[in-house]
A and B are shown apart, each in its own frame.
Chain A
Amino acid sequence: MTEIGRHADVARYLDRICAPIKARSMHEEIRLEMLSHLEALAEERFERGGCTEEEAIQDALLQMGDPDQVGRQLHAAHRPKPEWSVIALAGCLLLLGLVTMFSLDLALGGRLSVPHKMLAAVIGIGAMCGLYFADYRKLARYSWSLYAGMLLLLAYTLSHGLMVNGAKQWIGAGAFVVNAYAAAPYVLLMAVAGMLHRERPIRAGNRIETLGRLMRGAAAYVALPTCFFAVAPAFGPLLVYLIGLAALLVLNGRWKMLLSGIGAIAVLLLYVQQRYNRDLWLSIWERQKAFFHRGNAGDYHTIRSLDAIHSGGWWGQGFGRSLGTLPDIMGEFTYSYLVYSLGWVFGVAAALIALVFVVRLVRMGMRLPAGYAKSLVICLAAVMGVQYVWNLLMCVGLLPSIGGMQLPILNWNANTIVELGALGFILGAYRRKDMLNGRSRRAVPQ
């Protein structure tokens, strides 16, 4: 039979099937599949004899059924799937952020720049909505530029940035002061996810190529970013970055790089321990005890934080109650202040919301098929998860206090824009999971 794809009725039929399907990238594949079925039907009819080609085609179209109905049902299969649980939990965290901000403003006697924080949150929500509807796959192409741009920004921060407490992590951008080093794990990991995704598979047994890639990867993904974080110094973001990177390497099956990386870090840690702190295990044990038996063990920050949390009581000391003894009340120890002012019940509820948020994020990622979207969701969930968990455990004294471990989304500052943007991005990636043409991930026929 001649090409029936060119037949006007067939083309119109396929158009009608595709019309209700909003996921445009599916159209081509659906047309091909339907056409292949129509061809088979028409051919079968024609070979049975007793009809012209034209009649065979009309028969086939009839046999396929109502195109509008098929189109509507196909649309239902491929429609966008918003992850409402994560969106709702993010909303809760934003509300908590609002409460936190006003409480802190009262506690600090109005010294907080509320309009700036509000503006950051509003821009962040805007970025989140914008990136939610953007096509995340376009980012993959610009991964190297994103990576290079972020490293340049980090370098610029080192030379021209603002020094706070001996660390150069901040740069002024208009009305805002952005912590470039706290933003770096988000941006760099998004870039690395794309770089890993775009690497071509290596032919089996090509050792030189394999080794070359291992070295290049170790330099680009591990060594170079680590140097920047260490020079700043920004150990909190470094830890966050490395854990996110480990998640990415696992997802992409880069066990060699992961194991050699862990080996290198273990050797480094052993060296540091031998050199500076022989009683590491003892101090970890002391730390675990300190939460219930407050003594003088632990560092200044931890003692202050524990004092604040213990004196909070079930229902807290009151909204906006000032607390002069707690350091970093606007950053690392915001949570301790919240518990102090609003109580243990509130503290447990806030911690639960944050933890459920992280769990839902990870589960959202695990539901995606292996690929770029999954890498993005899981590594950014890891970035946020590590910060939440570490911050909460650090406030109750179970982990050492590290600068830069703050509560994402809840603690409003200029970096909230990056956090909300990243969240919008991965929610958008999940939303599109059934809207994409699957040919890129499809295996060859058996």
Chain B
Amino acid sequence: MKINKELMKGSTVILMMKQLEHRDMYGYEMAKRIEQQSDGLFAFKEGTLYPILHMLEVERLVEAYWGEENGRKRKYYKLTDAGRRTLVEKEREWSLFSTTVSRLIGEGRA
């Protein structure tokens, strides 16, 4: 089964921020990990990650720096303190949302 695009939209930001929680990553790495962790369910056009990352950088929720890995230049992203606070908030918001949706759907079925 494939997930509807519109449904994905609301959660991409939190998924990407969550990836950065424990270590700095570059865009490709984040896309791959999200894909792997979701067993290939969350595969998206990878170019669309960058506008989100750049917006987060502009809002200073993440910081970026250039580094090198295996002789390749990579732009790494790092969660800022403000970004960490926002992530906690977003996680709380998301769990409220998802439990409520499941509950309502569950009620509908019963």
Q: Is the CB of A63 within 8 A of B45?
A: yes
Residues in A whose Cβ lies below 8 Å from that of B46: 37, 41, 63-65
- Contacts A36-B72, A39-B72, A446-B24 given: A66-B47 contact, CB under 8 Å? yes
Residue interface mask B44-68, A partner, CB < 8 A = 1: 1111101100110110100011111
Q: With an 8 A cutoff between CB atoms, is A139 at the interface? A: no
Q: Is the CB of A70 within 8 A of B47?
A: yes
Interface residue tally of chain B, by bracket?
A: 20 to 34
Of residues 58 to 104 in B, which have CB atoms within 8 Å of A's CB atoms? 58, 60, 64-68, 72-76
Residue interface mask A39-82, B partner, CB < 8 A = 1: 11100000000000000000000011111011001101110000
Q: With an 8 A cutoff between CB atoms, is A34 at the interface? A: yes
A411 to chain B, nearest CB (A): 37
Stretch at the interface among A228-236, A315-323, A373-381, A436-444: A436-444
Residues in B whose Cβ lies below 8 Å from that of A76: 51, 55
Q: Is the CB of B75 within 8 A of A32?
A: yes
- Contacts A36-B28, A77-B54 given: A444-B65 contact, CB under 8 Å? yes
Q: Is the CB of A34 within 8 A of B47?
A: yes
Q: With an 8 A cutoff between CB atoms, is A445 at the interface? A: yes
Q: With an 8 A cutoff between CB atoms, is A434 at the interface? A: yes
Q: Is the CB of B54 within 8 A of A67?
A: no
Q: Is the CB of B28 within 8 A of A40?
A: yes
Q: Is the CB of A73 within 8 A of B51?
A: yes
Residues in A whose Cβ lies below 8 Å from that of B55: 76-77
Residues in B whose Cβ lies below 8 Å from that of A37: 27-28, 46-47, 50
Q: Is the CB of B47 within 8 A of A369?
A: no
Q: With an 8 A cutoff between CB atoms, is A279 at the interface? A: no
Q: With an 8 A cutoff between CB atoms, is A199 at the interface? A: no
Quick one: closest B residue to A37, CB to CB?
A: B28
Q: Is the CB of B65 within 8 A of A65?
A: no
Q: With an 8 A cutoff between CB atoms, is B26 at the interface? A: yes
Q: Is the CB of B54 within 8 A of A445?
A: no
State in angstroms the CA–CA spacing of A205 and B61 once bound together.
Answer: 34
Residues in A whose Cβ lies below 8 Å from that of B65: 442-445
Residues in A whose Cβ lies below 8 Å from that of B60: 369
Quick one: closest B residue to A67, CB to CB?
A: B47
B45 to chain A, nearest CB (A): 3
Residues in A whose Cβ lies below 8 Å from that of B45: 63-66
A424 to chain B, nearest CB (A): 23
Q: Is the CB of B76 within 8 A of A445?
A: yes
Of residues 359 to 374 in A, which have CB atoms within 8 Å of B's CB atoms? 369
State in angstroms the CA–CA spacing of A30 and B57 once bound together.
Answer: 13
State in angstroms the CA–CA spacing of A67 and B50 once bound together.
Answer: 11
Residue among B27, B57, B60, B75 with max Cβ neighbours from chain A (10 Å)? B75
B101 to chain A, nearest CB (A): 27
Residues in B whose Cβ lies below 8 Å from that of A30: 50
B28 to chain A, nearest CB (A): 4
Q: Is the CB of B24 within 8 A of A77?
A: no
B5 to chain A, nearest CB (A): 11
Chain A interface (Cβ < 8 Å from any Cβ of B): 17, 29-30, 32-34, 36-37, 39-41, 63-67, 69-70, 73-74, 76-78, 369, 434, 438-439, 442-446
Could you list 23 A-B pairs, sorted by A, with CB under 8 Å?
A36-B26, A36-B72, A36-B73, A36-B75, A37-B28, A37-B47, A40-B72, A64-B46, A66-B45, A66-B47, A69-B48, A73-B48, A73-B51, A76-B55, A77-B51, A78-B54, A434-B58, A438-B57, A442-B66, A445-B65, A445-B67, A445-B68, A446-B67
Known: A33-B50, A36-B72, A77-B57. 18 other contacts (CB 8 A): A36-B26, A36-B74, A36-B75, A37-B46, A37-B50, A39-B72, A40-B72, A66-B45, A69-B48, A73-B48, A74-B51, A77-B55, A78-B58, A438-B64, A439-B66, A442-B64, A442-B65, A444-B65
